Each structure stands twice: as C-alpha cells, then as structure tokens.
Structure 1
Amino acid sequence: MFHPRDRADADAGAAGGARRHGRVRTEPRLNAERGTTTAPRPPVLVVGVGSELRRDDAAGRRVVERLRGKLPTDRVELRSVHQLTPELADEATGRDLLIVVDASVDATTVTVQNVRAEATPSAFSHRLDVPALVRLSAALGAPPAEVVTVAIPAHDLSIGTDLSPATAHDVAVAADHVIVLCRGSTSRPRGTVAGGGTDGPGQH
C-alpha cells in the first residue's frame, strides 16, 4: 500500500529526469543457465501490489486481473505481487514505462502521478518504495524511462478477500487509466517517451 508520504515522492513535473534514460533492451536476452536466448522484454511493465487477504489492500492486484486479455502481451507485461521487492528492480530495467498500481489510505480519488527516482525514500508498508525501486534499477544499468504510480483509495483493510464497494468501483476506474497509459506508450516506437509536458490524468 502507498504510504501517505509517497505522494511527496511523486512529482508530475519531474519526469524529465527519468526520461533521460530512454533506452530499452531491444535485443534478445541470453539465458546464462541454458545458453539460449529469450524474446525481448515488452516495453511496458504494469505491477499490481497488495495483500490478497486484507480486502482493499488487494486493489492493485485486482486492476491487473481486469487488464488480462485487454492489452497486447508483446508490448505490455502484467505482474501481480504481494509487495515490491529488490528482484523487481531487474524486471524494471530497460522499460519504456513502469506503472505501479497500489491501494492508498491517503488517496481520496484514483490518483495518477509521475515519480522522480531522485526523491528521498519514504516510509512504505512494502519492502521498497517506488523511487527506491527505480534507483536500484538504475544501479543495475538502465532504469525505466518513465515511471507512473496509480493510487486507489483504500477504505477497509480488515481480514478478508472482498473489496469494499467504493474501492471495487475505483479499481475499474484505475484499470481504465492504466489502459490509456499503456496504449499511449505502446503507440510510440520502442525506446522513446512522450515529449513536452509531464501532466498525466491526475486525480479523478
């Protein structure tokens, strides 16, 4: 779940710094153990984060479930995880766009924001916050060119598997925003990012 202070780490006007790293891995990757090559990574990675057992905390993962079958798998990779871990930094390297979707006790509406990797890490209920994940990805060689968070308001974090009605509605809204972001990215040639300003969909 996004901590209330995470939004201080998100700056819609600071995505330009991340965009300096517009390169992506377009070449096939070598599987060192098997000596074989694998297909290039899709340019967009969407990560839904949360606990499946704490009701609204699973909102990010529910978004990923809604997206399956709606986006081209050669352009968009979907991941559903309990928490952000250092291993995901390698998964994020060389991407054109990284989107992290998570529940937030601070958000009052679905909020889409660009993230600057230079931000100071904040308290975060998962093992890494998003800026720290990007910095680690940069240390591994190539951070994602653009990073966006989608925060979904969380109303009920009690034990259970059902979302609250309000959060269930916002999951559908968030999924629509992610689709727009992915289609905007995949319509551009690989290795490029959107030019001009950094204003995103914002709050809805």
Structure 2
Amino acid sequence: MRTRTRIAVIGVGNEFRRDDGVGWTVLARLRERAAQRQLPQPGTVLATCDGDPGRLIGLWEGADLAVVVDAAHAHPGTPGRVHRLELDSGLMAQPPTTSSHGLGLGEAVELARVLGVLPDHLVVYAVEGADSALGTGLSPAVEDAVEPLVRAVESELDRHRETAARRPA
C-alpha cells in the first residue's frame, strides 16, 4: 500500500465579495509565512478555489490531509465566529452553517465520498461573515478572525506531521 503524505490547504471564496474572501486572505498570509520558513512538510499545496465542487475535489484528491477555509452563513449569525468541522473518510454531519456559494462544500464532500476520492482527513474552518456585497476587504469582525485562523491551520499541519512521524513505516 502506498503511503500518502500530500497536504492540501484550500482557501475557498471570492476575494471580490468582501467577507467571502476570508479563505483567500488566510491563504495569502500562509503563503507569506511559507516564504519565510518551510511549511511543516514538503508536498504541502496552498491553493485558492472559487468553491466549484469539481475543482475542490481535484485539489484534495489523493491527500492525507485537506484543510479548507471558507466563509459561511449562519442564522442567526455572529460575524467572525469560526466553526471547525472534521471528517475522516466518511460522512460529514450537516453543519449549522451553509457555504456562501450556490453549491457548497457539503456537495463537494458528498460527491467525493461517492467517488471514493475524499482525503484521509478533512478539516474545515467555516467563518461566519457579515458582508458579502461586491467589493474588497473584510469586515472588522472577520478580519479579526484571520490571524487566529492562520495559527489554527499551522497547528493542523504540525499535528499532522507529528502523527505521520509516529506511524509505522
């Protein structure tokens, strides 16, 4: 059996729809940090995506770990609140939030499950937004969530590296 070590970190959204760009902003910060130091593991892919299920699946297919950061709508909502959802090669429970895109992450997960191409471990950070109108820049509450999100994603990568190092060869 082949050992997979690929990691995909995916920022989902639209940087021209205000808070919907939170995933792209987190990825931009991770790229800045990656330029200063090596990410936890060679083969880590940092990518942005508009949320199209086929593109999402293509980015995480074959990954040991996929971390997705996306904006979400919740009713009632608390802008800037972050939800962490986790899936280990199975069905994800329906989250209390929905993607800010027409077809959401849930549809991509279900399609990948049916096709047998889910990553071994999927972690989703869904950030409740305040403003998805046309324009750039995040609302203050969502901007305040960015740095803690970047640290949370880095922690996911560190945990994955530590877990992988303990696995028998």
Per the TM superposition, whether the score is higher than 0.5 is: yes
Please say if 1:76 is aligned against 2:44.
yes
* Match of residue 27, structure 2, among 64, 67, 79: 64
Amino acid at match of 2:9: V
* Structure 1 unaligned residues grouped into runs of 5+: 1-22, 27-41, 193-204
Distance, in Å, in 2 between the alignment partners of 1:60 and 1:161 is 13
Distance, in Å, in 1 between the alignment partners of 2:21 and 2:2 is 30
Question: How many angstroms does 1:79 deviate by?
Answer: 0.8
1:110 equivalent in structure 2: 82
How many pairs does the alignment contain?
A: 155
What does the per-residue CA deviation read over 1:72-130, in whole Å, with 9 as the maximum and x for residues that have no partner?
46142111112233133133222111111011232532221214535579965435433
Amino acid at match of 2:84: V
Amino acid at match of 1:136: L
Question: How many angstroms does 1:179 deviate by?
Answer: 0.8
Distance, in Å, in 1 between the alignment partners of 2:110 and 2:59 is 13
Please say if 1:89 is aligned against 2:63.
no
For the 8 Å contact 1:93–1:138, the answer to whether it is kept is no
Please say if 1:44 is aligned against 2:16.
no
* Largest Rg, 1 or 2: 1
Which has more helix, going by share of residues? 2
* Match of residue 171, structure 1, among 138, 143, 146: 146
Alpha carbons of 1:174 and 1:161: their partners in 2 closer, same or farther (altered >3 Å)? same
For the 8 Å contact 2:66–2:119, the answer to whether it is kept is yes
CA RMSD of aligned residues (A): 2.9
* Match of residue 132, structure 1, among 87, 107, 128: 107
Distance, in Å, in 2 between the alignment partners of 1:184 and 1:24 is 21
2:155 equivalent in structure 1: 180
For the 8 Å contact 2:40–2:161, the answer to whether it is kept is no
Question: How many angstroms does 1:181 deviate by?
Answer: 0.7
* Structure 2 unaligned residues grouped into runs of 5+: none
TM-score using structure 1 length: 0.64
Distance, in Å, in 1 between the alignment partners of 2:41 and 2:135 is 31
SS in structure 1 of the partner of residue 26 of structure 2: helix
Distance, in Å, in 1 between the alignment partners of 2:45 and 2:86 is 19
Alpha carbons of 1:127 and 1:144: their partners in 2 closer, same or farther (altered >3 Å)? farther
Q: Show structure 1 runs of 4+ deviating over 6 A.
A: 120-123
Alpha carbons of 1:89 and 1:52: their partners in 2 closer, same or farther (altered >3 Å)? same
Distance, in Å, in 1 between the alignment partners of 2:41 and 2:24 is 17
